[in-house]
Chains A and B, each alone.
Chain A
C-alpha cells in the first residue's frame, strides 16, 4: 500500500467519454422520467395525445448513436405553431425547439441527433390555439461508454459555419411547399469529446439558434442543444414568400454568427 504510483498518473490528463446507462428501465421508470421532464419543460401545462396529427420517425435500433436520423411528420392541416424534440434519457433532453414563421410549413422536420442510451423520444407540438400535444417513441441506441474518438480540435473546426442547402423537392409554381435540407458544418462539441492530441476534454461549443428566412419572411427559428449531432442537418418545408432567396443565420455558444444566402433558382432540383 506504500507504493503509491500517483505521480505516474499525475502528469497525465483526462480522456473523453459520453454517458451510458442502464437498459432495464421499466415502463414505470420511463413514465416517471417523462413526468419529471414534462414538469421541467412545460410546467403547469397539460399535454394532449398528439397521435392524430404527429408521427415521429426514428430507427428502432440506431446503427450509430452519435448520428440518429429523426423526423417529425405533422398532419398538413394542423398548422402547428411550434415543435419540440425531446430525448428523454439524454442528460440534456431538450434537443430542439422550432417555431414557424409565415413562410414556414411545419409538416416535416428532420434532424440528426445524439442518443446516449435506450430512450423514449417525444415530439411535442403547440397547436394554433396554444394547447400542447405529444407523442412518444422508444428507440434503441447506445454509443457504449464513449463518445466517438474525436478528431483534433483544429481538424474538427475546419470549415466551421460552412453551409449547404439541398433541394429535396420543389413545389409546382403557385402551390405546395418546397422540401429542403440545410447542412451546417459545425463540430457541435458537447463537452464530452476528447481532443486526441491534447487528451483534454474539448469545451462544449454548439449551435444554439438557427433562423431561416425566405426573402425577409421567417420560415423557422430553431433553438437547439448538445443533442444535435456534429454538422447539424435540418430538413424542413417552406412556402416561398415570392422570392428565390433564402437566408440562414446560425449562432453558436461561443457567440459566433454564421450567415449564408442561397438562391433557389440556382439550385435546381
Chain B
C-alpha cells in the first residue's frame, strides 16, 4: 500500500543519519519486515514485544512558549514507547536505557520476538530495528506501516506514556 507511493531507498550500512521522514528500505538486514496484518497475526501467536520509537514533542528549553500542551501519544496497545531510540545517533544514556529495557522485557532471551515501529516513511523504526539486530536480538521485526497503518486497518490505538532514562 505504502510501497506503491515511492521506490524504496537503499539500505545504508549503518544507521541512517539523513532526514528522518522519507523513503525507507523494503528490507532489514538481520531482521524481517512485517506489515500491519502480519503483525496482528504475530500478536496472536507469539506475543512479541512491541517497541514504538516515535519522537515526542520537544519543549523549547531556551524560551517559554505561550502554552505548552502536547496531545497524549497513542500507539499500538501494549507497546513500550521509547522516544528518540530510532534517531541516527542517540545519546549514551538512551542507548544504555534501550538495551537495559529490552534485556528486562526479553528476560535476556536473544530469540524473543520484538516488533519495532513508528510512522510510515519514517527512518526511526528502521534505525531502531537495526540497533536491536546489532544488540544481538535474533527475531527483530520492523513494521514500516507503524501507527497510521494500524489505524488505517481499523484497529484501535491506546494512549501511552514515554519510557525514558531518568534525569537526575
Residues of A within 8 A of B (CB): 1-6, 8-24, 33, 36-37, 40-41, 89, 91-94, 97, 116, 143-146, 148-149, 190-192, 199, 201, 203-206, 208, 223, 225-226, 253-254
Interface residues on B, range: 35 or more
Residue among B58, B95, B121 with max Cβ neighbours from chain A (10 Å): B58
A3 to B18, CA, bound (A): 26
Q: Within 8 Å of chain A (Cβ to Cβ): is B148?
A: yes
Q: Is the Cβ of B134 less than 8 Å from the Cβ of A33?
A: no
Tell me if B9 is interfacial: C-beta within 8 Å of chain A.
no
Complex interface: chain A residues within 8 A of B118 (CB): 145
B60, B92, B124: the one contacting A9 at CB < 8 Å is B92
Residues B18 and A19 in contact, CB atoms below 8 Å apart: no
Q: Which residues of B contact A8 (CB under 8 A)?
A: 134
Query: What is the distance, in angstroms, from B147's C-beta to the closest C-beta of chain A?
Result: 7
Tell me, in angstroms, the Cα distance from A92 to B121 when the chains sit together.
Answer: 25
Which chain B positions have C-beta within 8 A of A10?
A: 91-92, 95-96
Contact B71 A21 (CB under 8 A): yes
Q: How far is A40 from B65 in the complex, measured between Cα atoms in Å?
A: 13
If A5-B134, A145-B118, A203-B60 are given as contacts, then 4 extra A-B residue pairs at C-beta distance below 8 Å, sorted by A number, are A6-B96, A19-B55, A23-B151, A91-B59
Q: Which of A2, A19, A201 makes the CB contact (< 8 A) with B56?
A: A19
Specify which chain A residues have a CB less than 8 angstroms from the CB of B108 in the assembled complex.
1
Write the chain B residue with the least CB distance to A254: B62
A-B contact pairs, 27 of them (CB 8 A): A3-B136, A6-B92, A9-B131, A10-B91, A12-B89, A14-B89, A15-B20, A17-B87, A18-B55, A18-B57, A20-B54, A22-B74, A24-B157, A92-B65, A93-B67, A144-B122, A145-B54, A145-B121, A149-B18, A190-B60, A191-B58, A192-B57, A203-B61, A206-B63, A225-B65, A226-B65, A254-B62
Taking CB atoms and an 8 Å cut-off, the chain B residues in 98-150 that contact chain A are 99, 103, 106, 108-110, 118-122, 124, 131, 134-137, 147-148
Determine which of A3, A145, A226 lies in contact with B135 in the assembled complex, contact meaning CB atoms within 8 Å. A3
Q: Determine whether B165 belongs to the interface, using a CB cutoff of 8 Å to chain A.
A: no
The CA-CA distance from A226 to B120 in the complex, in Å, is 25
B89 touches A145 (CB 8 A): no
Residues of B within 8 A of A (CB): 15, 17-22, 54-63, 65-71, 73-74, 84, 87-92, 95-96, 99, 103, 106, 108-110, 118-122, 124, 131, 134-137, 147-148, 151, 157
How distant is A194 from chain B, measured CB to nearest CB, in Å?
A: 8
Structural contact, A14 and B61, CB atoms closer than 8 A: no
Contact check, A6 vs B148: say whether CB atoms are below 8 A apart: no
Pair A16/B136 contact, Cβ less than 8 Å? no
A238 to chain B, nearest CB (A): 25
B29–chain A nearest beta-carbon distance, Å: 14
A-B contact count (CB 8 A): 161
Contact between A37 and B88, CB atoms less than 8 A apart:
no
* Cα of A185 to Cα of B70 in the assembled complex, Å: 27
Please determine whether A1 and B106 come into contact, CB atoms closer than 8 angstroms. yes
- Least CB distance from A92 to B in Å reads 4
B135 close to A148 (CB less than 8 A):
no
Q: Which residue of B lies closest to A2 (CB)?
A: B136
Q: How far is the CA of A11 from the CA of B5 in the complex (A)?
A: 35
Q: Are B74 and A21 in contact (CB under 8 A)?
A: yes
- Name the residue on A nearest B64 (C-beta): A253
C-alpha spacing A226/B68, complex, angstroms: 10
Q: A4-B99, A6-B95 are in contact. Are A192 and B58 (CB under 8 A)?
A: yes
| A205 with B151, Cβ < 8 A, contacts A14-B89, A33-B71, A91-B71 known | no
- CB-defined contacts of B69 to chain A, threshold 8 Å: 36-37, 40, 91-93
Known: A146-B122, A148-B19, A204-B63. A199 touches B151 (CB 8 A): no
The residue on A at minimum CB distance from B74 is A22
